[in-house]
Amino acid sequence: MHTVTEIEERIRQRYHQPKGVEQFGIEPVPSELKTVRWHDIFAIIFGFALNPGSMLVGGMAVISGLSFWGAIGAITGGVLLATIAYTITATVGVDYGLPGQVSMRMVYGLRGAKWVPSFLRTIASTYWFAYQTVAGSLAVVAILDRWTGTPHSLVAVSIIFAVLQAIVALIGYDSLKHLSRIALPFKILILSFVLVLLGTHSDPNFAPAQVFHYAGKPESGWLLFVTWMNVVAAGSLTMVTDSADFCRYTRSRTDMWWGTLLGKVGGGAFAASLGAYGAAATLGKTANVFEVAAQLTASWFVLLLFLIVIALDNWTINVLNLYTGGLSLSNIFERLGRFWTTLVISVVGIVLSAIPDVATGYTTYVGILGNVFSPIAGVLIADYLLVKGMRIDLAALFETKGRYWYWHGVNPIAVIWTALGFLAYMFVIPAEWIRVLVTLSATGVGYWATMHLLAPHFPQLALASHPGEQREPIEDLDWQLALR
């Protein structure tokens, strides 16, 4: 058996990647490298959820008409729904060291996984990166304008931000882990100070009692609440296919469960509270909490703190979108390697970050993406839990003509149910329902029932419809993949 160092060097040579960066892309991570504990996962996930983009969503929910508590409830509820699905699919990373997009091959087939979930996730990752960058840049520009008294270019700030984030993503997982661990305490302290600054302002509308009782618009009701819950859940579900990416270096399932659940729900609720507070304090007029806070002080030190937290956020957290996007693209173009696919995604993301409309189209873009990822999540969870019993034939994920080859590399059952789920989300399920949950559940049950009925009649389905066995050590498989 080859050592991890030998395997990493061989992978580096295969893809012509530079030294000092993460070498593993589509290859499963050996157990020797699985050392990440729950607190590191928590730092990454909590920090990811606690970002200017998520705070802006909280503000926009209030501006649309929701009350302060209604906005927090809708957003936290949406995050919780997505987190349940997220933790199920993340076990693939913990158990097998796989990136999420490679694990999708067991469901959609070796080719189908490339052109359905991986293609869509690449688009989603790139958009999310650009959205978060523009949202953070809006906050920076508001602070700089207040600090200097002169206007600053949103496009220029966005591009600078995007380039700095791309550098971290190119280095890989270790840089994300260490930077998140360092940055999170500073972020929590500074953002808590922002809440105190808002709550102690002399304007009576900023008082906690007033904000807590902000009722929103009279016409708002259940439909608006569910709409925002759906939007947030849909946005979070776009990450369900690559949740394993963040957890494939994790030591155990328990570490993953605690770190992920506390991180996603806690971070989402904190971000929603900040954004909703600023919007409610301004009586539903301003969505950007940093813009609100910057108007309350002329202190250069306070404004500097705001800049630090936003810079830390974008530099350490938003890079996860580039990281997962690079892994998704490497599943499509296997010969490029993780470093080079991340570089491609970074260039596209930087270009999109120069388009301010990326932020204003949040509900439209995320709604479209969520329409697709809800049925994808349903199919994936049903296949992994009910069809394969959470046991995968690891080597078969890389074998043409193996058990996950289906028909010419595509599982039409998964593709058809994904399409049916998308159409149901768009045209059948009422807006008053929690569309994300209904679509995920109905698609999953339909896929499972179809596989159960058809597997006895088609050998292409029969083999894939049973739990798999790991036939060789991960280190041996990695070495074989590096020699292809």
Count of residues making up the chain = 484
Is residue 373 within 8 Å of residue 120, measured between CB atoms?
A: yes
Q: Phi and psi for 36 in degrees, rounded to 5?
A: -75, 130
Mean pLDDT of 189-195: 90
In tens, the pLDDT along 6-24 reads 999 999 999 999 998 999 9
pLDDT of residue 367: 61
Does residue 365 surpass a pLDDT of 70? Answer: no
Per the structure, the count of domains in the chain is 1
Is the pLDDT confidence value at 122 over 80? yes
Least confidently predicted of 345-349, 370-374, 397-401: 370-374
Check whether 301 has a pLDDT greater than 90: no
**What are 292's two structure tokens?**
């609100």
Query: Quick one: pLDDT at residue 401?
Result: 86
Whether the pLDDT of residue 187 is over 90: the answer is no
Residue 370: which of 45, 85, 63 has the closest Cα?
Answer: 85
Host domain of residue 96:
4-482
Rounded-to-integer distance, Cα 478 and Cα 127, Å: 31
**Range among 49-53, 171-175, 190-194, 258-262 rated most confident:** 258-262
Task: Decide if pLDDT at 212 tops 80.
Answer: yes
Question: Taking a C-beta distance cutoff of 8 angstroms, is the pair 174, 22 a contact?
Answer: yes
Tens of pLDDT, residue by residue over 377-398, are 999 999 999 999 999 999 999 9
According to the 3-state scheme, what is the secondary structure of 277-304? HHHHHCCCCCCCHHHHHHCCCCCHHHHH
pLDDT score for 359: 60
CATH code of the domain in which 121 resides: 1.10.4160.10
Mean pLDDT of the chain: 88
**What phi and psi, each to the nearest 5 degrees, are found at residue 253?**
-60, -40
Quickly list DSSP for 426-469: HHTS-TTS-HHHHHHHHHHHHHHHHHHHHGGG-HHHHTTTS---
Q: 68 — phi, psi (to 5°)? A: -60, -50
pLDDT greater than 70 at residue 256: yes
pLDDT score, position 366: 59
pLDDT exceeds cutoff 60 at 311? yes
| Beta-bridge partner residues of 250 | 36
Q: Which DSSP symbol is given to 149? A: S
Side chain identity at 6, as an amino acid letter? E
pLDDT of 374 = 87
For residue 199, is pLDDT > 80?
Answer: yes
